[in-house]
Amino acid sequence: VNCSILLTHLPLLERPAAAAAAGFSGVEFWWPFPSATPEAAEVDAFVGAVEAAGVQLVGLNFAAGDMPAGDRGLVSWPGRSEELRANLDVVTAIGERTGCRAFNALYGNRVDGVDPAAQDELGAENLARAARAVARIGGTVLLEPVSGAPAYPLKTSADVVAVLDRVAAEHGEANLGLLLDVYHLAVNGADVPAEIAAYRERIAHVQIADAPGRGAPGSGELPLQAWIGDLRAGGYGGPVALEYTSDAPDPFAWLPLEQRSRVPAR
């Protein structure tokens, strides 16, 4: 359960326990703090809430700016590069404490007045820095296509993989992978089965929501179960994260209890 987009009627620190009560043992979060470098007490409270709920933190975003205001990451944003770099050790420390090993790095929007090539050079450098940071704990940096943000340059899996290949070629870091968010891909007009087939070996994490509407599976038109079946049949054994919006009294009613994810204990 992505606890940054689901269970939002509850205070953030109560959501891991609510996910556990709903039968899930794995959660993920976007960056859960207002600052890229939160106070130690804030970090302790977050880690404590996850631990007290008895769930595994499966995924965590790096600081990504003001998402409600339209920011979509700091990785390629020259004016906030130092902020991102200061965030890397904080993220790695949370991963070390919680056992989280998957870290989503939102690439960032194009910035007016800045050469896109310069942004991409900085993006590759900062992704390499992030990869080196989380490598200390065996972590993987995730990169994803995004929809609904015209200034965000990564729209397809091919866009993401090109960046990952650049990081590997120029900086030698290999602990990066594609975050396959099928909702974003579908909204961007991608042929999702073709992307799964083409980039199966690069997929390190999967997120789902239905479209149109970014609601729960079954609320829209996407064949999500077929796509998950394709991924599983092709060897993907990782988590499938629920990253949809819902104001229903039970946002998980569509999913039988026995099918709710079970994350191995650390």
Q: Encode pLDDT of 156-174 as tens digits.
A: 999 999 999 999 999 999 9
Q: Are 163 and 106 in contact (CB under 8 A)?
A: no
User: Please, which pLDDT band fits residue 261 given cuts at 50, 70 and 90?
Assistant: confident
264 pLDDT higher than 70:
no
* The predicted structure's pLDDT at residue 252: 98
Distance CA 233, CA 227 (A): 10
* The predicted structure's pLDDT at residue 262: 64
- Write down all domains in the chain, each with its CATH number in brackets: 12-254 (3.20.20.150)
Q: Other C-beta atoms within 10 Å of 100: how many? A: 25
pTM: 0.96
DSSP sequence for 4-69:
TTSSTTS-GGGHHHHHHHTT--EEEES--SSSSS--HHHHHHHHHHHHHHT-EEEEEEPP-S-TTT
Q: Which residue has the tokens 């970014």?
A: 214
* The predicted structure's pLDDT at residue 72: 98
The full length of the chain comes to 266
Active site residues: 144, 243
Mean pLDDT across 173-184: 98
DSSP state of 251: T
Mean pLDDT across 112-132: 98
